[in-house]
Structure 1
Amino acid sequence: MIIESLLDTDLYKFSMMQVVLHQYPAAQVEYRFKCRTPGIDLVPYIEEIRTELKALCQLRFAPDELDYLHTWRFIKSDFVDFLGLFQLNEKYVEIAPAATANGEIEIRIRGPWLHTILFEVPLLAIVNEVYFRRTSGGLDLAEGRRRLQAKIALLHDAPGYEGCKIADYGTRRRYSRLWQEEAVTALRDGLGEQLAGTSNVWLARKLNLTPLGTLAHEYLQAHQALGPRLRDSQVAALEAWAKEYRGDLGIALSDVYGLDAFLRDFDMYFCKLFDGTRHDSGDPFAWGERVLAHYAANRVDPRSKVLVFSDALDIPRVMQLYAHFRGRCQLSFGVGTNLTNDVGPEPLNIVIKMIRCNGQPVAKLSDSPGKNMCEDEAYVAYLRKVFDIPAEQG
């Protein structure tokens, strides 16, 4: 059994789920799986994935897990009570060979947002672990341990980088659950205070680390169907978040419509209200410079704000960004696949993205077009027009 606890997911799933419970309990959504790595045949593993999905849907939150969630200052009692009754239902998930391409599989999740939001992270972890144990089962992890220790030494031993902290963001694309636990334990023991925490709630609890995360792209995408009008959907999403958390969990995601559109909406009010912003596509150096300039233009001291970098990072890239921006703002780095799936075989680039909300298409048009995913090209064109997004973006 790959997933043994419903806590084995990323923190932002719980923080978003609480907003859904309180503000959008009737919302209906659809998610779709995509493997961006070419030439990967996942069809032979469908039955094994289904078996793991069935096991996932048998899980419930244990009393001690609910007690742990109760300790978080931003989690409300009624949400914990709801989780005490919660159970994932496999009827919302369809897994089958794709009709259009040999070797590709189709995974679609359809149903109430409140009851489907927790599928994404464990399902991706299941696909990864099934694939790697079937294609590289019995792999000697000595090479992975060697690479991991080299990364720890590079960051820990470099003069002037004592204040450079990283976090584990690698649950979705990990080599295996046991390897992620081993890797994060090694990071904790080797880096000490330079490990800020982990996005994985189960590991945070088990290893006495800080759970980290706020919101994901799906939250802002859903507001394309939930907001008052499309042009105001980004503002509506940020205001709904502020209504729920009253200044807590204050990191805004900047790349659902690209940085230009984000900065047009991220006015002085949001600059002062939110603790910082997160980068997840496009050139991180150019992004950081523009965000810091935007803070200054809105009479906010950039040194009081956090820039969170989380796009395909490795330790050398983290150190480059730290050297470039240190002293000018607060910094945070989320490292994912490079920590939890760098053991030898090529990692899979797989995602599950929301594509519809309340029957309406939703999309992301980020500063890295390869990350975009929408089945309705007419809607994408309309979205570009509404947010004044160049055609080459997305």
Structure 2
Amino acid sequence: METIVPSLLDTDLYKFTMMQAVLHQHPGAQVEYLFRCRTPGVDLARRLEAISAQIDALCALRMRPEELDYLRGLRFLKPDFVDFLGLFHFDRKYVRLRRSGTENGGIELRLRGPWLHTILFEVPLLAIVSEVHMRGEYGEPDRTEGLRRLRAKTALLRDAVGFQDCAITDFGTRRRYSRAWHGELLPHLRAELGERFAGTSNVHFARKHGLVPQGTMAHEWLQAFQALGPRLRDSQAAAFDAWAREYRGDLGVALTDVIGLEAFLRDFDLYFCKLFDGMRHDSGDPVEWGERIIAHLRAHRIDPRTKTLVFSDGLDVERVMALHAHFRGRCRMSFGVGTHLTNDLGRPPLQIVLKMVRCNGQPVAKLSDTPGKTMVDDAGYLAYLRQVFEVPAPAPGPAGAGGVIA
């Protein structure tokens, strides 16, 4: 199999924006990430050697001069950070990959090391696991079927009356069928949707195809502050403050579901409502979320029509259009569509994540509005986090529904 990740730019923009803030503010932080496959019954262990070989290839990559020049052209990336990337490379010593000792057919994939030197691993590692599995199970992507499905989606959005200002962004790097298919579909989206295709989160393909790279922050930025201080109860506010200090008005979209929407709204006061340009949804019911965000802005005497609501949780084109119709005229909107674009060829995609679970030796957690998406490896800490932020435990459900990993 050819190299799956050909460039250090083959990742989501928000990994670079967070990495810059880490370099400037917390270069000594030590972290741990843990892989989880949410799709039951998948035998990834038999792909262990292929995954390992692709990680070796990843660790051989270096930034090329033309790639560094491209990054220097992004106004929010500072010269010292781009210079640092010129020296950066992935180090295999931070990766532990082996057969799971507790899950039949599972793998244990764990990162442990400096945050500054492990932060870029997440997206390419997930893309590697996804492509090794998809091509190992089903072979080369069925381009004919993929294009048929893609054209049906673009026609649905392009030809609908009243959706001229409804634009989508590609968020599909980490769970794509293959790198080749990802690169092929982006020009089709631009050709068929025009201005309704807003760009891609993938920096490599943004550079290659002349698209706008999109992204701000991810869960790990706020998770890390649960350990970085000043105190747990103030961790979200501290993370938003630190972000604003780094970017001074750029990249102003806040993620709302690291400890749940209720806790977010308590912390996101008038100061943050004015400071940030928008908020991003990534779990829970999107309509309920949007209504509560709009009500929160109005309660702080802010016109929601001046803010952008970014929807990015498991979207397909039909859901995008339904949300756009529901909130039309009440706020600005942006839609990040992932797996539905890059891995919809008639075969079931993997639901995989690689999330931070520790920072500076202390547990951290993503306490999602969708219980199955909660990510933590310390049940005691999860209970404490709920207590501190006054988040009730979910009703009892199937084993593992809370997302706790022992």
TM-score by length of 1: 0.99
Equivalent residue, structure 1, for 2:318: 316
Structure 2 residue matching 1:327: 3-state secondary structure: coil
In the alignment, structure 1 residue 132 sits paired with structure 2 residue 124: no
The count of aligned residue pairs is 394
| Inter-partner Cα distance in structure 1 for 2:382 and 2:363 | 9
Structure 1 residues 208-287: aligned runs within 5 Å: 208-287=210-289
| Inter-partner Cα distance in structure 2 for 1:130 and 1:391 | 37
Tell me if structure 2 keeps the 8 A contact 1:227–1:237: no
Structure 1 residue matching 2:329: 3-state secondary structure: coil
* Residue of 273, 290, 295 corresponding to 2:297: 295
Structure 1 residues 28-67: aligned runs within 5 Å: 28-67=30-69
Equivalent residue, structure 2, for 1:373: 375
Equivalent residue, structure 2, for 1:74: 76
Structure 2 residue matching 1:142: 3-state secondary structure: helix
Deviation (angstroms), 1:378? 0.6
What do the CA deviations read for 1:268-308 (whole angstroms, capped 9, x no partner)? 00000000000000000000000001001111111000000
Structure 1 residue matching 2:120: 3-state secondary structure: coil
In the alignment, structure 1 residue 387 sits paired with structure 2 residue 394: no
Equivalent residue, structure 1, for 2:399: none
Structure 1 residue matching 2:27: 3-state secondary structure: coil
| Inter-partner Cα distance in structure 1 for 2:212 and 2:161 | 25
* Residue of 195, 198, 201 corresponding to 1:196: 198
Letter in 1 for 2:125: L
Equivalent residue, structure 1, for 2:363: 361
* Residue of 164, 167, 171 corresponding to 1:162: 164
What do the CA deviations read for 1:216-235 (whole angstroms, capped 9, x no partner)? 00110000001200000000
Deviation (angstroms), 1:185? 1.4
Letter in 1 for 2:135: R
Equivalent residue, structure 1, for 2:146: 144
Equivalent residue, structure 2, for 1:119: 121
Tell me if structure 1 keeps the 8 A contact 2:141–2:178: no
Deviation (angstroms), 1:143? 1.1
In the alignment, structure 1 residue 348 sits paired with structure 2 residue 338: no
Query: What is the percentage of aligned positions where both structures have the same residue?
Result: 67
Deviation (angstroms), 1:138? 3.6
Structure 2 residue matching 1:118: 3-state secondary structure: helix
Letter in 2 for 1:149: R
| Inter-partner Cα distance in structure 1 for 2:187 and 2:213 | 14
TM-score by length of 2: 0.96
Structure 2 residue matching 1:243: 3-state secondary structure: helix
What do the CA deviations read for 1:154-207 (whole angstroms, capped 9, x no partner)? 000101111100000000000000101111111011101000010000010111
Gaps of 5+ in 1: none
Structure 2 residue matching 1:60: 3-state secondary structure: coil
What do the CA deviations read for 1:232-253 (whole angstroms, capped 9, x no partner)? 0000000000000001100000
| Inter-partner Cα distance in structure 2 for 1:139 and 1:301 | 46
| Inter-partner Cα distance in structure 1 for 2:145 and 2:267 | 46
Tell me if structure 1 keeps the 8 A contact 2:32–2:112: yes
Deviation (angstroms), 1:114? 0.1
| Inter-partner Cα distance in structure 1 for 2:382 and 2:370 | 15
